[in-house]
Amino acid sequence: MNDTQNKLDAALRQAVRGRITRREFTQLALASGVSLAAANSMFTKAYADEPKKGGTLKIGVGHGATTDSMDPGTYPDQFTGTALWGTLSNSLTEIDADGNVVGDIAESFEASDGAKKWVFKLRKGVTFHDGRAVTADDVVASLQHHRGEDSKSAAKSLLKEIVTLKADGDTVVFELTGGNADFPYTVSDYHMPIMPKKDDGSVDWESGNRTGAYKLDKFEPGVKASFSKNPNYYKADRGWFDAVEFYSIKDVAARTNALMSGEIHYMDRCDLKTLDMLKSNPDITVQEITGYGHYIYVMNVTQKPFDDVNVRLAIKYSINRDDVLEKVFLGHGTVGNDNPIAPTVKFAVDPQPRHSYNPDKAKEHLKKAGLDSLTFDLSVADAAFSGAVDSALLWKEHAKACNIDINVIREPDDGYWDNVWLKKPFVASYWSGRPTVDWMMTTAYAADAAWNDTFWKNPRFNELLVAARSETDEAKRAAMYAEMQQILHDDGGLVNILFNSYVEAHAKNLGHNKVAANWQLDGMRIAERWWFTS
């Protein structure tokens, strides 16, 4: 997406909303080197894309279980995420299509004291579906739900940096253990919708009375969730549909069929094998977004032989990522470079030298490590990410040329995350990614991170991490983050195969603006962002 293009898009959006005239747009377009014909067609197309009210959006999601519950602390995946959060609820902030954090329930937010103190000013006139206005107390209660001894929330560790949070008029004030310039990102998480406070001080997560663009009509766990328009939603330009229905369709074939037979308008996680055939269907658009999610193999750097950085490098050079992408993922994704930060994330860099398949380098590093050949076990299961096993098998082939013998062990899918991940020395792992460098690094690569699955502790890296948090000067931060990514790339224990794409398909008659990359289904907020063009 280059600059002019962005400008034009912006202008277009203005134009179709009538804020600028068609002529003005055309001139702008010509000025930026677009032919008149092109400009016109762009305009007409854009006009067709103009949001329209109405219709019932039906979405088929490949997740959802009968055990799903309204408790946002336990939202496990896209189904609960998109339906019960993105459609039903709002958090304090949200991530926009370009990956920037913007206010949602909070109108604005500002840091002080080296980003240790954060004040979020709540938006006026935001009401719950029952009409009650959202107060600071509600926000506090909602976040408290994830903290404390008995919290079962998956977001618990995200918020453990909070020392105090208190309501102050129409603002909520956070005191953090250390500075964190990205804190607003943290509270955009889908586990943290704002919910009404009960009299007993706890929060009412059961009723589904939230603030979102749609009200909950019916939630049948593992089957279906249906919503209807919230007439007094506070975002004027969001929430176009009259009703939205989510179906949990775990079988990808069934999902595809439902889309083709027109019973749903949108499906996530297309079957890559048959994508070409799906594309050939005239009424269906396939959209592919490179997200933050990445498929990695992580080694425990505290254990032999992985405690030797040269061994690690040899391993990193021993895999042909392009081949894996081509064969296992049929080209859907972007090859990784042992850097967990997706290119689309702010401050992302591409550390050099790129770790691409290079047997000679691999051997060279082995020699440096005082070895002429290397053998190790690699524990994998498709539970980590589908394709983990095949990728490992391919890698085994590649590595042979590097005198590296990988002994691929297939682990059971069930309980993979409990019995293998963080337990076996070298395992397959998956990160759905985080919208900021800090968040990602804090979650998985900081020395004290709860999920430091490489057991990697790098002093320099950690001090940079802390420093960068409180650093408010963008340029300086950029530099720090660049260095951190470089260190991790050179020294870390992760082998990042690729950033996976969200491959999703939808009926041609759905309209939308730029699609967000932070989560599937347009950042999980498809219901309020998309519309029917006809």
> Binding pattern to other proteins, positions 166-205, x when CB under 8 A?
---------------------------------------x
CB of 363 to other proteins, least distance (A): 25
Tokens of 438: 């800090």
Count of other CB atoms within 10 angstroms of residue 438: 25
Least Cα distance to 82 among 232, 241, 254, 227 occurs for: 227
Q: Which stretch binds other proteins (CB under 8 A): 62-70, 101-109, 332-340, 348-356?
A: 62-70
Which lies closer to other proteins via its Cβ, residue 23 or residue 273?
273
Element (H, E) at 194: none
Q: Binding to other proteins by residue 520, rule CB under 8 A?
A: no
Nearer to other proteins among residue 14 and residue 74 (C-beta): 74
- Residue pair 213/233 in contact (Cβ under 8 Å)? The answer is yes
Strand ranges inside 393-534, DSSP E: 404-410, 426-431, 494-507, 510-511, 531-532
Q: In a 3-state reduction of DSSP, which class is residue 523? A: helix
Token pair for residue 444?
Answer: 């998985």
CB atoms within 10 A of CB 46: 17
Q: How far apart are CA 303 and CA 424, in angstroms?
A: 10
- Which of 30, 133, 163, 450 forms a contact with other proteins (CB under 8 A)? 450
Nearest distance from C-beta of residue 323 to other proteins, angstroms: 10
| Interface positions, 13-52, toward other proteins (CB under 8 A) | none
Contact status: 252 vs other proteins (CB under 8 A): yes
- Could you tell me the smallest distance in angstroms from the CB atom of residue 410 to other proteins? 7
69 binds other proteins (CB under 8 A): yes
Strands 117-122 and 374-380: unpaired
Asked if 324 contacts 528 with a C-beta cutoff of 8 angstroms, the reply is no
Stretch that binds other proteins, among 82-90, 132-140, 254-262, 493-501 (CB under 8 A): 254-262
Binding test (CB under 8 A) with other proteins, winner from 78, 256, 358, 403: 256
For position 264 contacting other proteins by CB under 8 A, the verdict is: yes
Alpha helical stretches, state H, 161-251: 183-186
Among 451, 467, 482, 487, binds other proteins (CB under 8 A): 451
Helix locations, 52-113, DSSP H: 78-80
| CA 212 – CA 86 distance, rounded (Å) | 8
| Interactions with other proteins, residue window 301-330 (CB under 8 A) | 327-328, 330
Residue in 18, 37, 66, 282 binding other proteins, rule: CB under 8 A: 66
Sketch the per residue contact string, 201 through 240, with other proteins: x for CB under 8 A, - otherwise. ----xx-----------x-xxxxx----------------
Three-state secondary-structure class, residue 138: helix
CA distance 438 to 158: 12
**Contact in structure between 180 and 161 (CB atoms under 8 Å):** yes
Residue 449 within binding range of other proteins, rule CB under 8 A:
no
> Out of 100, 274, 352, 472, which residue is the one contacting other proteins (CB under 8 A)?
274
Is position 150 an interface residue for other proteins (rule: CB under 8 A)? Answer: yes
* DSSP letter string, 336-370: --S--S-TTSTT----SS-----HHHHHHHHHHTT
- Pairing relation of β-strands 510-511 and 531-532? antiparallel
Which residues, at least 6 apart from 194, have a Cβ–Cβ distance to it below 8 Å?
Answer: 89, 90, 91, 92, 105, 134, 138, 139, 142, 210, 211
Q: Convert residues 325-364 into a mask of x (bound to other proteins by CB under 8 A) and - (unbound).
A: --xx-x----------------------------------
Least Å distance between CB 147 and other proteins? 11
CB of 433 to other proteins, least distance (A): 12
Q: How far is the CB of 421 from other proteins (least distance, A)?
A: 7
Closest contact distance (angstroms) between CB of 381 and other proteins is: 10
Enter the tokens of residue 461. 């890296």
Q: Is 263 in the site for other proteins (CB under 8 A)?
A: yes
Could you tell me the two tokens for 6?
């962005």
Q: Does 262 bind other proteins (CB under 8 A)?
A: yes
**Is residue 440 packed enough to be buried (19+ CB in 10 Å), middle (13-18) or exposed (0-12)?**
buried
Which residue spans within 202-283 are E strands per DSSP?
A: 214-220, 224-229, 243-248, 266-267
**Least distance from other proteins to the Cβ atom of residue 511, Å:** 24
Element (DSSP H or E) covering residue 493 = none
What are the residues facing 226 on neighbouring strands? Answer: 218, 245
Complex with other proteins: residue 68 or 104, whichever CB lies closer: 68
Using DSSP's 3-state secondary structure scheme, residue 166 falls into strand
Instruction: Pick between residue 118 and residue 502 the one whose CB is nearest to other proteins.
Output: 502
240/247 with CB nearer other proteins: 247
Angstrom distance (rounded) from CA 433 to CA 346: 13
Q: Which stretch binds other proteins (CB under 8 A): 69-77, 108-116, 129-137, 162-170?
A: 69-77
**Side chain identity at 326, as an amino acid letter?**
E
> Per-residue string for binding with other proteins, 380-409, x by CB under 8 A?
---------xx--x----------------
Least distance in angstroms from the C-beta of 281 to other proteins: 9
- Determine if 113 is a binding residue for other proteins (CB under 8 A): no
Per CB under 8 A, residues contacting other proteins are 65-71, 74, 76, 149-154, 156-157, 205-206, 218, 220-224, 247-254, 256-258, 260-264, 271, 273-274, 277, 280, 327-328, 330, 389-390, 393, 410, 412-415, 417-419, 421, 429-430, 450-451
